[in-house]
A and B are shown apart, each in its own frame.
Chain A
Amino acid sequence: MRRKFMKKVTASGLVMVLMMTMLTGCRFGFASDPDDPNEEEKEVPIDTSVDTFEYDTSLSGTNITLLNSKAEIQVALEAMGAEYEKKSGVHVEVMPVTDGDSPYTKVVSLYNSGTPPTASILDTTDVIALAEEKAADLTGEPWTEEAEGYLTEIDGKIYSFPLCIEGRGIIYNKAVIEEALGEEFHPESVTTQSAFTDILDRLVEAGIEKPVSVAKEDWSLGAHHLQYIYETYEGTSEGAQEIIEDIKAGKVDLDSYKRLSEFLDMFDILKKYNVAKGDPLGADYDEMAIDLADGKTAFWFNGNWAWPNLSEAGAEEADEYGFLPYFMNDDKSDFANEQIQASPSKQVMLDGQIASDKEQAAAKEFLNWIVYSEIGQQMLVKTCNIIPPFKNNPYEPSDPLSADIYKKVHEEKAFNASAIVPNDHWAVLGASMQKYLAGRSDRNELTEDIQKYWDEQE
């Protein structure tokens, strides 16, 4: 009995010591490396000295909620909300959508519980599903003028605020390519599929056996890869809509649809040089970032959202990373071979059903504050690390991937097309793409799957 008691005391003592060390942040064993990429977490300074934004003082004291489905900017949004509260007196509560929940599920359950968020950051398809029933009409809001070309209209009305531009393509690590080839690499000089294959072959010769990383995740394959067949139809959202309607109506024969076979040509190239070729469905997302940063690979198909992963893998902001287009063919005049896809991705929708007039007004002011106030503009870009879709925002994102997208958008080297597909498109056809990637199905079967998917849609 006595010994047991002693044991208990020792055990609780140990737990206490553990807690104490944790609390004091005492280091254990080795001192950390100052060059360690994980060390930083620097605060980007925001200049709050100038603020010409006109606040509506009658809104002070209002509480609004913002549902955030972009988890990586949760902390940044909270900071932004706090700053806005300081100036306007409006309290912004940022609610996260968490692990395992989709934003749509969360919004639906919140509407059912009678406490919907005043504003929600959602995907475009979610906004379309909810707009008519729930959303506040934002047509004519001041910021709409600054976001020309990036607005989503539903029956001629605007129900959502485009929060950011995201772009995707083949990410390259310039230093790795230059070191392997022993010459300068000019990404803009690569404008055709065969030029791209040529570089790949030379990299293989230079010792980088499998220079490309292709993620196995269904959202990457089903949405980011496959949707090129709609988006490159003519490089616009309207065009994407048109081709989707035609496929659905059976007016387009997928077997002879040029963009599909071109897309598969490119996909086959990526497949051939895939670092995980032996087991493409065993590839690990986080490892791909490390491979690219370390130079085991030179290319990774992904978007500017991959920066946090690369940064954790050891990439520095001064390093040269950028995007190549998803080459569709050997035609130099084809826009798809020189432009990358970039379009608004997350939308803010305001509740028009349950929120009071005051709450709606406060939420609208918050959106305008993001677009027009000096502080909001800075925080959107610097704190949230977002590529702003607003013309009047003078700030540029600092990480190389976003900076490259930003540059391409402004040089008209990007096409703004987003295909609005049913919400399960990525999941259903992502599975078909996985099958194709793993070599368990051929082009015919994949084409049939795509056709079947669209046939089943009403």
Chain B
Amino acid sequence: MKSKNNGKDFCMFALPGMFCFFAVVIVPFVYGVYLTLTDWNGVAKVKNFIGLKNFSGVMKDGQFWTSLLLTFKYVIFVVLIVNVLAFAIAYLLTRGIKGQNFFRAGFFTPNLIGGIVLGYIWQFVFSRVFVSIGESTGWKLFEVSWLSDPTNAFIALVVVSVWQLSGYMILIYVAGFMGLSEDVMEAASIDGASGFVKLKSIIMPLMMSSITICLFLTLSRAFMVYDVNLSLTAGAPYGTTEMAAMHVYEKAFTSRQFGVGQAEAFILFIIVAVISGLQVYFTKKQEVEA
């Protein structure tokens, strides 16, 4: 598509989309970064330039770094489990098994439940179902609600996030598997490649673009976890499950330190940008071009 009317192409194909994106995302973001350099509190009429003072406020906020560390731990678990599980389920769901449409619709349902209902239902599961299982079986593991113990509450967060995110990633992996031509799969079978070999040497490389996307999406979403955090544990017990994004929000609006909160959001953004940038760079290298 190399031609003279490159400019026309640009205006027609690229410009409208770019305009929406820049106007809605980039401009407010830049403005937001500027705000981190001021003492604006969200309501005042005047904004005084104070340089990097907000960032030194971030350094002093120990809770932010604790929450960031916890977020890292959480991200590692969530990204790994979500992708392995979603990949496997999507693979099974595109093998023409009986009732596969029904199954797919079922795996889609986590996408339908959000907000307070999500937290409410899962609180039920952890504080009631598990506890009643514990009562009838005497298993120590389920004796008390998982949400009242820091470690178990963390596990609960991971479980719910895996449930929710993998519902989303299954959709993308399914589309990826569907995009593979049947020829490839059949050719692989005729060649006598089976099981793990087939998976590793034929399917994986062809699925790399889906994997890149899903890894990236899980990575960024896990770093930004807010809804699940708020509705399931809200940081409880005693603030031990407060993740970075929730802390940032609390800092800006509950503690009323708008500038520091905004600066923390910016730092969080840089960290996630670096990590996911690296991930995309490395997985993209593995992709096979059609």
Contact = CB atoms under 8 A, between A and B. Distances in A.
B44 A133 contact: yes
**Chain A binding surface, main DSSP class:** helix
A282 B144 contact: yes
Interface residues of A, number: 31
Given A105-B253, A134-B43, A424-B254, A282 B127 contact: yes
Interface in A101-115: 102, 104-105, 108, 111-112
A353 to B, nearest CB: 9
Interface in A93-128: 99-100, 102, 104-105, 108, 111-112
Contact of A281 (B42, B45, B116, B145): B145
A427 B237 contact: no
B65 to A, nearest CB: 16
A434 B237 contact: yes
Contacts of A111: 43
B131 interface: yes
B45 A133 contact: yes
A438 B238 CA distance: 9
Contacts of B138: none
B205 interface: no
B148 A438 contact: yes
A218 B240 CA distance: 13
A431 B239 contact: yes
A259 to B, nearest CB: 23
B166 to A, nearest CB: 24
Contacts of B239: 427-428, 431
Given A431-B235, A434-B238, A440-B238, A279 B254 contact: no
Contact of A427 (B44, B115, B250): B250
Nearest to B235: A431
Contacts of B238: 431-432, 434-435, 438, 440
B43 A108 contact: yes
Contacts of B43: 108, 111, 129-130, 133-134
Nearest to B63: A428
Contacts of B230: 100
A187 to B, nearest CB: 32
A108 B239 CA distance: 25
B256 interface: yes
A116 to B, nearest CB: 10
Nearest to B252: A105
B237 A438 contact: yes
Interface string A430-449: 01101100101000000000
A206 to B, nearest CB: 25
Given A279-B144, A282-B127, A438-B148, A423 B256 contact: yes
A124 B220 CA distance: 38
A133 B44 CA distance: 7
B145 A282 contact: yes
Contacts of B148: 216, 279-282, 438
Interface string B234-257: 111111000000000010011110
B236 A423 contact: no
A311 B89 CA distance: 46
Given A99-B115, A100-B230, A434 B236 contact: yes
Contact of A218 (B123, B127, B236): B236
Contacts of B224: none
B147 interface: yes
Interface in A179-212: none
Contacts of B44: 133
B145 A108 contact: no
A281 B237 contact: yes
12 contacts: A100-B230, A102-B253, A105-B253, A108-B253, A112-B42, A130-B43, A134-B43, A218-B234, A281-B236, A424-B256, A427-B254, A438-B238
Interface of B: 42-45, 115-116, 123, 127, 131, 143-145, 147-148, 230, 234-239, 250, 253-256
